[in-house]
């Protein structure tokens, strides 16, 4: 595995791969890798000649109340995980390398952001889109891999690739789950023993809603009510949101149809958990 820290070296290496006709799978991350990231790397390994992993804690996507400096970092551990997952090139730039001067141009995301988690994190996805625009130009990937656990981010990246005509295939990778259905997350360690026992109720609630829709339910309000009732009955957490939208457009629906997302966020004592499912809903 090659490790690179400069944009110039990365671009020269990527251009060489392109000249050789190699396909490049790209997994952008902020490091502190876990099983969800490994699933992305493994998917990229299966489908491409070269796998590139970037690790960059991007200051632009942290809000004023979010501590950029406290974000966990462990590059030695990440290197080991990347090697084991078959990564060919690890791109690990500094903030000074990625942002050597104040930006004269920024990417502003105008759609798909004022709902779900984006509602409480203004400017977050502008930072995501700005750094991805830079990374896509540096890496020049054939395919880019993102986890559906953060389905809103996938929707935003879909818009970015389409609007700016990047010649990149977006590959959404299914959420990695524990045996009991709980979406894997570094935040799960902050749950108390009782909360950890309750947490699988998030996925169970989504599955209950899916079954009701498959049985003919088409009213978004009724779907929300069903999920809220289940969560209030089976967890001690506070519901942050329960939402149903078209996907990836993330627009409200009067009646369910087409591809939809059902997304929830629940706040426990020391952890806020998110989960979602997408499904295709036929017209009745």
Extract the tokens encoding 47.
């489908």
Q: What is the pLDDT of residues 120-155, one digit of tens each?
A: 889 999 999 999 999 999 999 999 999 999 999 999
pLDDT category, 171, cuts 50, 70, 90?
A: very high
The yes-or-no verdict on residue 78 having pLDDT over 80 is: yes
Task: Compute φ and ψ for 163, nearest 5 degrees.
Answer: -65, -35
**Catalytic sites, residue numbers:** 37
What Å distances lie between residue 275 and 148, 182, 226, 232, 248, CA to CA? 9, 8, 16, 16, 16
Are 146 and 153 in contact by the 8 Å Cβ rule? The answer is yes
33: annotated binding-site residue? Answer: yes
184: annotated binding-site residue? Answer: yes
Q: pTM here?
A: 0.93
The yes-or-no verdict on residue 67 having pLDDT over 90 is: no
The yes-or-no verdict on residue 39 having pLDDT over 80 is: yes
pLDDT reported for residue 65: 72
Q: Could you tell me the domains of the chain? A: 2-173 (3.40.50.620), 186-276 (3.30.1300.10)
257: annotated binding-site residue? Answer: no
Among 206, 199, 203, 204, smallest CA distance to 268 is for 199
pLDDT reported for residue 18: 97
150: annotated binding-site residue? Answer: yes
Are 137 and 10 in contact by the 8 Å Cβ rule? The answer is no
């Amino acid at each position: 595995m090659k490790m690179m820290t400069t944009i110039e070296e990365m671009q020269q290496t990527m251009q060489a791969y392109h000249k050789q006709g190699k396909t490049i799978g790209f997994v952008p991350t902020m490091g502190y890798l876990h099983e969800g990231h490994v699933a992305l790397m493994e998917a990229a390994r299966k489908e491409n000649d070269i796998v590139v992993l970037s690790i960059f804690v991007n200051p632009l996507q942290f809000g004023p109340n979010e501590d950029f400096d406290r974000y966990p970092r462990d590059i030695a551990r990440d290197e080991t995980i990347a090697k084991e997952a078959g990564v060919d090139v690890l791109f690990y730039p500094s903030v000074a390398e990625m942002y050597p001067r104040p930006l004269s141009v920024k990417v502003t995301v105008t759609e798909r952001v004022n709902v779900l988690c984006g509602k409480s994190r203004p400017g977050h996805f502008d930072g995501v889109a700005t750094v991805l625009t830079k990374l896509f130009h540096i890496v020049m990937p054939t395919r880019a891999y993102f986890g559906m656990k953060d389905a809103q981010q996938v929707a935003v990246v879909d818009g970015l690739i389409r609007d700016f005509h990047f010649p990149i295939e977006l590959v959404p990778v299914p959420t990695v789950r524990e045996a009991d259905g709980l979406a894997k997350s570094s935040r799960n360690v902050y749950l108390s023993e009782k909360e950890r026992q309750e947490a699988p109720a998030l996925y169970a609630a989504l599955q209950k809603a899916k079954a009701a829709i498959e049985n003919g339910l088409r009213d978004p309000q009724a779907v929300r009510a069903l999920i809220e009732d289940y969560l209030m009955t089976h967890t001690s957490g506070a519901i942050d949101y329960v939402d149903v939208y078209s996907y990836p457009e993330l627009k409200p629906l009067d009646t369910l149809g087409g591809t939809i997302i059902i997304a929830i966020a629940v706040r426990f004592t020391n952890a806020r958990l998110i989960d979602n499912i997408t499904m295709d809903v036929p017209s009745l």
